[in-house]
Amino acid sequence: MAGNTGECGNPTYLVSCLPLFIKEAVSESEFSETTLSAAPGDIAQLPCYTLGNVTPSLTTWTKNGQEVIRGGGSSPSYAPAGDRFTVLYDGSLSIKEVIPGDEGSYLCNSRLPGNNTFQTRVLLQVTNGPENVSVSIGPATALSNGTLITYRGSNVSFNCSGSSYPSQQLTWAFRGDSSSNDSLVSTSGSWLDFRIEDIQPSAQGVYSCIANNTVSHQEVNKSAQLLVYYIPDKHPECMWVAAQYPSHIQFNCSWFGAYPTPTLHWEFSPDAHMVVPSPNKTTFTKSETLHISLIYSTPHTIISLLCLLEPPFPEGDPLAMAVEATSITLTCTETSSIPPANTTWRKGLQQEEIVSGSKYVLSVEGPNFKLTIFNISKDDEGVYFCRSENVLAVSELEVYLTVKPSSVNTGVIIGIFIAALIVGAAAVVAKTVYSSRHQICLVDDDGGDVLNLVESDDEQIFQDTVPQLPPLTNGCHTTLVQIHRIPSNSTPSSWQFYFTEEPVDLVSF
């Protein structure tokens, strides 16, 4: 065996040793198969004998059991049907401008010098694509960078298409904050779509359409980023704060819970009567209603707000009275001002502002603004102003304080007045009784008799009809007693003084 190997190593024995290698090659490659892929339009070259530089004398190529072409020698051989198939000098099969349908299992059968044969199989795959892969997501709006945006609650459709030869697999995949390249849906056709109802922010992420050629395993990935915009369910929160000057006000509006972070712009209605001296300051002229629109620029959403502005109107008792050396609290109430007014207490026609101290104490209890004045004197008497001011107007409540003397002097005055009243009343009664002393009439409730007492100075009136009584021994005047019968239909309720000028029956004792 070693000698044979040595002889074959000698160039003179090259031809005689060649058949041995060929026979071994045939036995080892009898069932081997080579796989090649080519795209339409390409040139495919199917190899046959690759073990040496020996030129086969005859090579036959068959496809699926049917002969395609045969040829041999040092010159290429062309197929009778045209020049797309060619057998090269080494037995390889060249296919020019491959087209769909050229795929299949090819068998090469080569006859070598020495009447030896060599066979090999080649599997030709004609593949194309994936190509023309496209995605469509909507309804959505494309930004300048290609990112798509939609809005929470929308019904969004996802469509994917592509072409591959001989077949393909289409897959929709999703990559978001809480998932990593999850497969959503897949198909073996040329079109794939699915739909998300009432899309939520959790569906925000990157959506990929993956097209895979099932033969060549070539893959094309087409992706799109989808953002889900949303605005909060509640309205923006607006509030005002006091500005440097009472005639100015600052509105602050915020809108939390929106994605992306909103950029708000101010827009005023024509009837708001606004004067805008600078971008950061807005001055209000007299107006009672302010219409404000907040423009959410991304997306372009307008939220209209109605801000009611009301002038202040302080209310309270316009009159107050206090006694010297005491204290008093003046109160005014302001509830109508929007925005809240700046309320102060002022004194006098010059409206000097009052500040808290030993004499005055200012306090606020809800809508009530109180001014307490201690150790009141006559100097504290006068007009006080409860002054309320906001961005719309200035309103004032005028309170007039009257200061009266202390209670000690008042008691003396009242005592003197009552004493004088009593003395005067007594004098009047005495004078009345004295002026009526000449006649007193007493009436009995039960007897119906009238007792008339007549003083003796008037006795001469009755001298012609009534005998004069003799004078008493003590020298005093006598008194005439008369009894009058009152008619039965007249019943006095008590004894009275009664005076009569008409003549009556007189009974003398």
Judge whether 216 lies within some domain.
yes
Q: Indicate whether this model's pTM tops 0.75.
A: no
What pLDDT score does 268 carry? 57
Q: Say yes or no to pLDDT of 467 above 90.
A: no
Indicate whether 268 and 360 sit together in one domain. no
Indicate whether 273 and 191 sit together in one domain. no
What pLDDT score does 383 carry? 96
- Tell me which of 308, 331, 348 is where a domain ends: 308
Indicate whether 87 and 76 sit together in one domain. yes
User: Could you tell me if 141 and 228 are in contact, meaning their C-beta atoms sit under 8 angstroms apart?
Assistant: no
Tokens of 60: 């036959």
Other beta carbons less than 10 A from residue 146's beta carbon: 8
- Tell me which of 308, 334, 358 is where a domain ends: 308
Q: CA 183, 186, 190: angle at the middle one, nearest 5?
A: 140
Judge whether 18 lies within some domain.
no
What is the Cα–Cα distance from 199 to 41, expressed in whole angstroms? 45
Indicate whether 120 and 133 sit together in one domain. no
Judge whether 414 lies within some domain.
no
Please give the tally of structural domains in the chain. 5
> How many residues are there in the chain?
509
Indicate whether 201 and 274 sit together in one domain. no
Rg (CA), the chain: 65
Indicate whether 155 and 248 sit together in one domain. no
Q: Which residues pair with 238 in a beta bridge?
A: 253
Judge whether 38 lies within some domain.
yes
Over the stretch 340-391, which tens digit does the pLDDT of each residue have? 888 999 999 999 999 999 999 999 999 999 999 999 999 999 999 999 988 7
What pLDDT score does 49 carry? 76
Task: Identify the three-state secondary structure at position 435.
Answer: helix
Indicate whether 153 and 180 sit together in one domain. yes
Instruction: Out of 215-224, 253-262, 486-495, give the one with best mean pLDDT.
Output: 215-224
Expressed in percent and rounded to 5, the helix, strand and coil fractions of the chain are 15, 45, 40
Judge whether 373 lies within some domain.
yes
Judge whether 71 lies within some domain.
yes
Indicate whether 326 and 399 sit together in one domain. yes
Judge whether 423 lies within some domain.
no
Least confident range of 214-228, 262-276, 314-328, 377-391 = 262-276
Q: Which domain holds residue 176?
A: 128-229
User: Which residues contact residue 193 at a Cβ distance below 8 angstroms, ignoring those fewer than 6 apart?
Assistant: 157, 158, 159, 160
Where residue 164 sits, what CATH number does that domain have? 2.60.40.10
Which of 255, 225, 215 has the alpha carbon at shortest distance from 239? 255
Indicate whether 80 and 150 sit together in one domain. no
What is the Cα–Cα distance from 13 to 409, expressed in whole angstroms? 162
User: Could you tell me if 318 and 397 are in contact, meaning their C-beta atoms sit under 8 angstroms apart?
Assistant: yes
pLDDT band at residue 290 under the 50/70/90 scheme:
low
Judge whether 258 lies within some domain.
yes
Secondary structure of 76-126 in HEC code, one letter for each residue: CEECCCCCCEEECCCCCEEECCCCCCCCEEEEEEEEECCCEEEEEEEEEEE
What pLDDT score does 235 carry? 76
Integer CA distances (angstroms), 330 to 14, 160, 337, 378, 388, in order: 135, 80, 20, 17, 15
Where residue 262 sits, what CATH number does that domain have? 2.60.40
